[in-house]
C-alpha cells in the first residue's frame, strides 16, 4: 500500500487520447515561478485533426499503446518528453537511443542528475519482483530490464534514476527504464511518444514513487483531450462516485497480475436484459485466469470468449432493423473484434437509439452507450457505407486470459484510483467541461 508524501498538493497534467486519426499539439502557458501547496498545477492542451491513413490489412494487430499521453520534463536541465499513461504497467520508461523512426528521445548524457542503477542495488534485487521477466545484470554490472506487452512488443534497457518535473513539482531520484532496444508491432504509433508512464500498484510504478494516495483522469469523447490529476478530487460540480473494491490475491498465480487494478465483474446488461451467465464465469480460476483489469493502456474492452459471444449475440438481437451487419465473415478488426456494421455516414449517424451495455461490478455499474459502442474503421468503406465495429472484443482471439476494461469505454467518465482505500471509483461527467472548470480550456 502506498504512503502519501504530499497530501495537500494536487497536480494536474494534460491527458490526450491518441488514435490513428489524431495528432495532438500542446500549447504551454506560462506558470508562476512558485505555487502554494493549496493551489493546483495544470497544463492546457489543444488538438488538431488530420486525415486517417488507410489500413494495410483487414486484420489489424492489437496495440498496447494506442493510448493516452501526458507531457512532462525529465533531467537537469529539463528535457520535454511525452509518455503513454498506462495503468496496466509498472515500470515507466523512456527511449534513450536515437533511431530513424523516433520523433523524441531522452538523452541521459545531457542530464547531470541522471544515474544508472547497478545490479547490486536493492532496487534491482528486490523491487523488480513483479516484473514478468526477472531483471538481470549486464556486462557493465548495471540493472537490466526487459518488458513485454500483450501485442508481443518488447522493450529493454537499464534501470536508472533522474529528476522528473510534474508541473512545478520536482521529483529527484525517480526510477525509470532508460531503454535502447526492443521490438514493436506498431512502430509508427510508438515513434510518436518518448516512452511510457507505468501507473499500476507495483513498487516501481510512477504513482507509487510519487506517493499520492489517489489519482484520477477524465477523457473527453468529443475532442480527445482530458486531464490527469494526482491527489484528491473534491469538486462541487463532480457528482458522487460509485466505488468498486480492488481484488487482491496474495498467492502468486501464473495468470494473475497481482499489481494490476483488478475489480470484480459480476454481470453484463444489454438495455435492461442481464446476460444469462453464471457469476462464476467472471471470477478468476485456480490459475488466476479470468481477472478483470481496468487498463488505460488498452484502447477497447475485451471479454473472455463465452462472455463476449453472449454479449455479441444479444446486441445483434436487440439491434435487428437498426444496424446492418457487415457482410464479410473474415473481417476481424484489431484481431479480436468481429462484430462490425455497414453504416451510411451521410447524414452523420446517430447512435443514440442503440441499447446501452452496462458492466455490472461489485457495488457499482458502468454504462456504455451511444457513440462509445461504435468505432469507425479508418479508411474502410463498403459502397456508400463506412464500416463501424462494436467496441467490445474477444480476449481469446488475443491470447489474453483476462477481462480488460479499455480507455474507450472510460470516455466522459471521471476515473479515480484510490490506493489507500483500495478501490476504483467512477461517475459520468462531460470531461471537456470538467477540463474547462479546472482551467484547462483554451
- End-to-end distance of the chain based on CA atoms, in angstroms? 37
CA atoms lying within 13 Å on the CB side of residue 206: 26
Q: Which residue has the cell 472548470?
A: 437
Residue 439's H or E segment, with its range, is none
Question: Residue 285: which residues within 8 A CB-CB, separation 6 or more?
Answer: none
| Interstrand relation of 413-418 and 423-428 (parallel, antiparallel or unpaired) | antiparallel
Which residue, 244, 379, 357, is CA-closest to 301? 357
Stated length of the chain: 442
Which residue, 267, 265, 228, 229, is CA-closest to 244? 265
What is the distance between the alpha carbons of residues 342 and 395, in angstroms, rounded to a whole number? 24
Reported for 116-124, long-range contacts at CB under 8 A and 24+ positions apart, including other chains, are 116/142, 116/143, 116/158, 116/159, 116/160, 116/178, 117/142, 117/143, 117/158, 117/159, 117/160, 117/161, 117/175, 118/142, 118/143, 119/143, 119/144, 123/159, 123/175, 123/204, 124/159
Q: Which residue has the cell 520536482?
A: 170
Query: Where does 333-373 show beta strands of DSSP type E?
Result: 340-344, 357-361, 364-368
Residue 92's H or E segment, with its range, is none
Please pick, among 86, 130, 190, 432, the residue that the annotation labels catalytic.
86
What is the distance between the alpha carbons of residues 241 and 415, in angstroms, rounded to a whole number? 9
| Interstrand relation of 324-325 and 402-405 (parallel, antiparallel or unpaired) | unpaired
For the question of residue 169 being annotated catalytic, the response is no
For the question of residue 385 being annotated catalytic, the response is no
Question: Residue 150: which residues within 8 A CB-CB, separation 6 or more?
Answer: 62, 64, 298, 398, 399, 400
For residue 158, list its beta bridge partners: 144, 178
Please pick, among 130, 162, 295, 432, the residue that the annotation labels catalytic.
295
Q: Which residues carry out catalysis?
A: 86, 295
Amino acid at each position: 500500500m502506498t504512503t502519501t508524501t504530499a497530501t495537500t498538493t494536487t497536480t494536474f497534467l494534460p491527458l490526450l487520447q491518441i488514435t490513428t486519426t489524431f495528432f495532438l499539439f500542446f500549447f504551454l502557458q506560462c506558470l508562476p515561478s512558485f505555487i502554494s501547496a493549496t493551489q493546483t498545477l495544470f497544463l492546457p492542451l489543444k488538438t488538431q485533426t488530420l486525415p486517417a491513413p488507410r489500413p494495410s490489412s483487414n486484420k489489424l494487430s492489437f496495440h498496447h499503446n494506442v493510448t493516452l499521453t501526458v507531457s512532462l520534463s525529465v533531467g537537469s536541465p529539463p528535457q520535454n518528453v511525452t509518455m503513454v499513461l498506462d495503468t496496466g504497467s509498472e515500470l515507466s520508461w523512456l527511449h534513450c537511443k536515437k533511431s530513424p523512426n523516433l520523433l523524441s528521445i531522452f538523452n541521459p548524457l545531457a542530464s547531470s542528475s541522471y544515474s544508472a542503477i547497478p545490479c547490486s542495488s536493492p532496487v534491482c534485487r528486490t523491487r523488480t519482483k513483479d516484473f514478468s521477466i526477472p531483471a538481470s545484470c549486464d556486462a557493465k554490472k548495471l540493472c537490466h530490464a526487459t518488458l513485454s506487452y500483450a501485442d508481443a512488443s518488447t522493450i529493454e534497457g537499464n534501470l536508472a534514476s533522474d529528476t522528473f518535473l510534474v508541473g512545478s513539482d520536482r521529483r529527484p531520484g525517480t526510477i525509470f527504464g532508460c531503454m535502447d532496444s526492443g521490438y514493436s508491432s506498431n512502430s509508427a504509433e510508438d515513434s510518436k511518444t518518448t516512452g511510457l508512464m507505468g501507473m499500476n500498484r507495483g513498487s516501481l510504478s510512477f504513482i507509487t514513487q510519487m506517493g499520492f494516495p489517489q489519482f484520477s483522469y477524465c477523457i473527453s469523447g468529443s475532442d480527445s483531450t482530458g486531464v490527469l490529476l494526482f491527489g484528491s478530487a473534491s469538486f462541487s460540480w463532480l457528482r458522487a462516485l460509485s466505488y468498486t473494491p480492488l481484488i487482491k490475491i496474495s498467492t502468486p498465480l501464473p495468470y494473475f497480475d497481482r499489481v494490476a487494478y483488478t475489480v470484480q465483474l459480476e454481470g453484463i446488461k444489454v438495455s435492461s436484459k442481464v446476460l444469462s451467465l453464471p457469476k462464476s464465469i467472471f471470477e478468476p480460476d485456480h490459475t488466476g485466469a479470468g481477472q478483470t483489469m481496468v487498463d488505460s493502456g488498452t484502447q477497447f474492452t475485451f471479454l473472455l470468449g463465452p462472455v463476449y459471444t453472449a454479449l455479441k449475440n444479444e446486441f445483434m438481437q436487440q439491434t435487428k432493423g437498426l444496424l446492418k451487419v457487415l457482410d464479410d465473415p473474415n473481417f476481424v478488426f484489431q484481431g479480436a473484434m468481429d462484430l462490425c456494421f455497414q453504416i451510411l455516414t451521410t447524414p452523420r449517424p446517430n447512435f443514440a437509439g442503440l441499447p446501452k451495455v452496462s458492466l455490472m461490478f461489485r457495488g457499482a455499474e458502468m454504462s456504455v452507450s451511444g457513440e462509445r459502442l461504435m468505432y469507425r474503421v479508418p479508411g474502410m468503406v463498403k459502397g456508400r457505407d463506412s464500416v463501424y465495429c462494436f467496441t467490445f472484443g474477444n480476449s481469446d482471439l488475443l491470447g489474453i486470459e483476462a477481462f480488460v476494461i479499455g480507455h474507450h469505454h472510460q470516455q466522459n467518465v471521471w476515473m479515480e484510483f484510490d490506493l489507500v482505500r483500495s478501490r476504483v471509483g467512477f461517475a459520468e461527467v462531460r470531461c471537456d467541461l470538467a477540463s474547462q472548470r479546472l482551467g484547462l480550456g483554451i
